[in-house]
A and B are shown apart, each in its own frame.
Chain A
């Protein structure tokens, strides 16, 4: 069975500094996708970044990068130059490499950016 583990219930970071949010996963599928979503207090889920299991390079999207270590089954999110608006819940998720693309989510990490 697939599983996503986020071991940090809460994190603090100083504004303008970088922060790493941890995510490990478990799957026996050879093909899968890894996602990070941001959920502000308003509740909507905002897509941040995607990494495919066969992608050779780590994904980057602006200030977001995904540190993908396949052998360790980890997909950590790195946010550079944190901003106050980055304060939110962050969810790591995985999809199988089948046609459904349904997502399995972790329990989330609450990030608080301090001014």
Chain B
């Protein structure tokens, strides 16, 4: 079956612009995560959705970052007034949900470059 997909694969934008990054999780997966991976580092947690609601957004760095999942499937990460420091690979992962099933399946990521 299809894995987690993310679009676009690459996004180049200018400082101050608005960007949207999309994640399509595995069908039936109720849990969805966004992570950010800067060059040479491990991924850092941003936000977690269970269904439509953001159950944990403690990793969002500031109020320029926002994410939605209106129908409990596709999620969009939105970044306002982008800064050069936002340049990174944004990874999305999904998990089937519920207790006892731990594996998160990752998408290929979106590489964001802010000029």
Contact = CB atoms under 8 A, between A and B. Distances in A.
Interface residues of B, number: 27
Contact of B31 (A43, A47, A101, A107): A101
Given A91-B42, A91-B43, A103 B109 contact: no
A100 B104 contact: no
Contacts, number: 59
B26 interface: no
Contacts of A46: 106
Contact of A44 (B40, B48, B104, B108): B108
A47 B103 contact: yes
A47 B91 CA distance: 14
A25 interface: no
Given A37-B106, A103-B43, 11 more contacts: A4-B42, A43-B89, A44-B108, A99-B50, A99-B55, A101-B95, A101-B102, A102-B48, A102-B59, A105-B35, A107-B40
Interface of A: 4, 33, 35, 37, 42-47, 50, 52, 91, 93, 95, 99-108
